[in-house]
């Protein structure tokens, strides 16, 4: 029995090395079923869960390993990483402290402990200075008199976005060049106003001879975004796109993706749609790199303006009265309807918080079991096929389309066809061997699924701009 369990663990390790995290978890779970007294089985599964961003499950596994062996340092390490990842710094700090005490020579753990202490202090500071109606970062920004130097070698942007400017921008970004700050400010401010004036749930139809493409998370993987456009066609008045949140963070071209998507929104405001994701939020941007990237490539004001524009984004898009598209998923209460989403005043609440409709729309995940369950992430909740069925029937929907999670094939159809996950960041974070996917919808409203592979990109690692030690944790 013990030998069989070790053999299964080794198969899990092989899958882990191949960056196939779901298969690794399957084998570790089988090993645990045979022998639930071996702490390393739990910490191995915790690490695979961390790779899948199932931080709640990782915390549970690490806790179990600590119960079996309170001196098992790796378990404290894993639990600290998982708690840090979901911004529970005050929980993580206790485990980092244990690791440092038990293994004082571990420099990485020491750096994490110090970074965590800083995060706890910063969280307290930000809470203390929070102002409900803080002035906009646009105040005092004199765009009209901002000079674009003669030495600037890019296309010029006047009052209206042009295809010529976008084409030039795509090439600039490919070559590692930046936009002039004036144009960055101009684009963000224009899109902030556009999306602010859209409904919380945008409602759109696909006209004959038109097409709408739904994309999931792109997470700063700019070169993979261009691959979608290369394979599937660039946005136009006849070919709309909907990007379903998580444009930024993790990947190291988040500024480039956000600016390109915003430029297309300016050019085709009625055919190009953007839903907010859980990474279009301040606390995630501070942790996962976007804030650091904005400061490194432009300045802090650019980040603050992006933050304001993110909080103005719609939370959902209803396609042809058939498909509700939102980043996370469904709700803790069966009574919620499309009308409740329509009525939600997202402008009253800039950040999603720990509870409520906005948080659930950005954070929840499907589960295979009926009913509702605690979130594997440690944030939000999970909803079963019966919850999805009732919601779709009550609201006259064919399905819910959501993103928010890696799928090894780029997409997955679950809950008897009523819950569809689409994820558009292939080889996610350079560390998962997943495909990307996108969905084409024409006027017959049939879903056409398309998979694609990652393309090469310049040698800049994911999380390159995360300034809190998260990048060093990526490899743990």
Cite the active site residues: 279
The answer to whether the Cα torsion of 17, 19, 20, 23 is positive or negative is positive
Side-chain-side CA neighbours of 423 within 13 Å: the count stands at 24
Q: What does 14-33 look like in DSSP terms, one character per residue?
A: HHHHTT-HHHHHHHHHHHHH
Contacts with 223 (C-beta within 8 Å, 6 or more apart), sequence order? 174, 253, 455, 456, 457
Q: Do residues 187 and 217 touch, judged by C-beta distance below 8 A?
A: no
What six digits make up the tokens of 392?
């779709």
Q: Do residues 249 and 470 touch, judged by C-beta distance below 8 A?
A: no
The single residue listed with the structure tokens 């490899």 is: 475
Structure letter (DSSP) for residue 445: -
Q: How far apart are the first and last CA of the chain?
A: 29
**Which of helix, strand or coil describes residue 149?**
coil
Q: What does 315-384 look like in DSSP terms, one character per residue?
A: SEEEETTTEEEESS---S-TT--HHHHHH--GGG-SS--SSSHHHHHHH-EE-SSSSEEE-TTSSSEEE-
Helices (H), ranges, 130-281: 163-174, 181-196, 222-232, 254-267
The single residue listed with the structure tokens 């090894």 is: 408
Nearest partner of 44 among 64, 61, 57, 56, judged by Cα: 61
Q: How far apart are CA 448 and CA 438, in angstroms?
A: 8
Q: Do residues 40 and 34 touch, judged by C-beta distance below 8 A?
A: no
Q: What does 46-92 look like in DSSP terms, one character per residue?
A: HHHHHHTT-HHHHHHHHHHHHHH-TT-HHHHHHHHHHHHHTT-HHHH
Q: How far apart are CA 391 and CA 384, in angstroms?
A: 11
What six digits make up the tokens of 269?
């405001």
Q: The sheet that has 239-244: what strands, in order across it? A: 272-275, 239-244, 211-215, 436-441, 447-452
Query: How would you classify residue 319: left for phi > 0, otherwise alpha for psi between -120 and 50, otherwise beta?
Result: beta
């Amino acid at each position: 029995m013990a030998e069989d369990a070790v053999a299964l663990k080794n198969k899990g390790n092989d899958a882990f090395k191949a960056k196939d995290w779901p298969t690794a978890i399957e084998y570790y779970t089988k090993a645990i079923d045979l022998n639930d007294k071996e702490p390393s089985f739990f910490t191995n599964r915790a690490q695979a869960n961390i790779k899948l961003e199932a931080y709640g499950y990782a915390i549970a596994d690490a806790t179990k390993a600590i119960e079996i062996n309170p001196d098992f340092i790796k378990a404290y390490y894993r639990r600290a990483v998982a708690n840090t990842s979901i911004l529970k710094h005050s929980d993580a700090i206790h485990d980092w402290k244990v690791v440092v005490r038990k293994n004082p020579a571990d420099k990485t753990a020491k750096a994490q402990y110090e970074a965590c202490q800083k995060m706890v202090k910063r969280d307290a500071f930000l809470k203390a200075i929070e102002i409900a109606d803080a002035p906009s970062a646009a105040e005092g920004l004199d765009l009209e008199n901002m000079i674009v130097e003669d030495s600037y070698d890019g296309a010029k942007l006047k009052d209206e976005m042009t295809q010529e400017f976008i084409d030039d921008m795509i090439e600039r970004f490919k070559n590692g060049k930046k936009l002039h700050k004036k144009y960055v400010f101009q684009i963000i401010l224009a899109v902030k106003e556009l999306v602010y004036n859209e409904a919380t749930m945008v409602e759109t139809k696909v006209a004959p001879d038109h097409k709408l493409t739904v994309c999931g998370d792109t997470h700063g993987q700019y070169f993979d975004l261009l691959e979608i456009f290369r394979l599937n066609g660039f946005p136009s008045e006849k070919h709309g796109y909907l990007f379903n949140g998580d444009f930024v963070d993790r990947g190291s071209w988040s500024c480039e993706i956000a600016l390109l998507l915003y430029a297309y929104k300016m050019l085709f405001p009625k055919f190009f749609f953007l839903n907010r994701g859980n990474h279009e939020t301040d606390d995630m941007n501070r942790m996962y790199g976007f804030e650091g990237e904005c400061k490194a490539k432009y300045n802090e004001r650019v980040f603050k303006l992006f933050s304001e524009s993110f909080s103005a984004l719609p939370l959902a898009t209803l396609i042809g009265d058939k498909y509700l598209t939102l980043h996370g998923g469904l709700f803790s209460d069966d009574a919620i309807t499309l009308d409740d989403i329509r009525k939600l005043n997202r402008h009253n609440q800039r950040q999603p918080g720990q509870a409520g409709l906005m948080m659930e729309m950005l954070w929840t995940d499907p589960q295979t079991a009926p009913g509702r369950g605690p979130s594997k992430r440690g944030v939000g909740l999970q909803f079963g096929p019966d919850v999805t069925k009732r919601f779709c029937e009550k609201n006259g929907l064919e399905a819910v389309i959501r993103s928010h999670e890696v799928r090894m094939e780029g997409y997955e159809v679950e809950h008897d066809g009523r819950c569809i996950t689409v994820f558009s960041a292939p080889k996610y974070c350079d560390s998962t061997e997943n495909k990307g996917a996108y969905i084409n919808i024409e006027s017959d409203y049939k879903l056409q699924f398309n998979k694609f592979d990652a393309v090469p990109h310049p040698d800049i690692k994911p999380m390159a701009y995360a300034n809190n030690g998260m990048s060093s944790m990526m490899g743990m």
